[in-house]
Amino acid sequence: MKDPISIKKILSKALVMILGLLTISLTIYIFGLPFYPEIKYYLEAKQENQDINSQMVETPASTTPTNSTSTVAPSTLPSVQPTTSERKGNYLIIPKIGVDIPIVDSADSRWALNRGAWRMPQTSTPDKGSNTAIAGHRFKYLPPSNLTFYLLDKLVPGDQFHIIWEGKLYYYRVTENKIVPPTQVSVLDPTEKSIVTLITCDPIFTQKNRLIVVGELID
């Protein structure tokens, strides 16, 4: 029969080891959680590219017409067809990065940003054309969240997003993605073309600069 003291020592060591593993796991979870959307996006994009390459390999070369032209990149096509019948209010939908957020009108930016994306009141609205500027938090809720612009930097020219505004659906194609200082307020200026300017902070977790994504209305 084993010494009761030895059994206690073994149990004590086992408990310490378990607590240590739990502490390490919790630490990794807490510090890694903010970067989960970035990792998830990277893995999904990698898998999508592998699937495309696999399909290309499996397709016999003889089935491809010699005079065929390249197809439109998937990122330039709307991935969803948002309906307005079941929606109340105004919404910004960016399928590529999983954003589906209410657009809030208010003179109080903090109040608006706590409830969705803020349409900056000194700018236009989709139905009036010109430049509609919409700001959103880069990080606010535990990721992944459809209510933040966490992955806004992943949008590139050709990508599409949609706005539901007063019961009507507007499609936009991204034309520009850039970083500007907070003092560059010219991004809010009126424009001849009907555009939407999406604004958030950059880098993530700071307010040093502004990440600007511009989308032009698709007629």
Catalytic residue annotation: 137, 201
- DSSP-derived 3-state class of residue 104: strand
d(CA 154, CA 160): 12
> Is residue 119 exposed (0-12), middle (13-18) or buried (19+ Cβ within 10 Å)?
buried
Q: Residue 122: name the closest of 113, 110, 111, 135 by CA.
A: 135
The CA-based angle 189-78-195, given to 5 degrees, is 10
Tracing tokens 């709307």 back to the chain, one arrives at: 78
The CA-based angle 157-185-177, given to 5 degrees, is 15
Distances, alpha carbon 31 to alpha carbons 17, 141, 142, in Å: 21, 14, 12
Distances, alpha carbon 105 to alpha carbons 66, 189, 201, in Å: 53, 18, 20
Contact 95, 78 (CB under 8 A): yes
Contact 130, 194 (CB under 8 A): yes
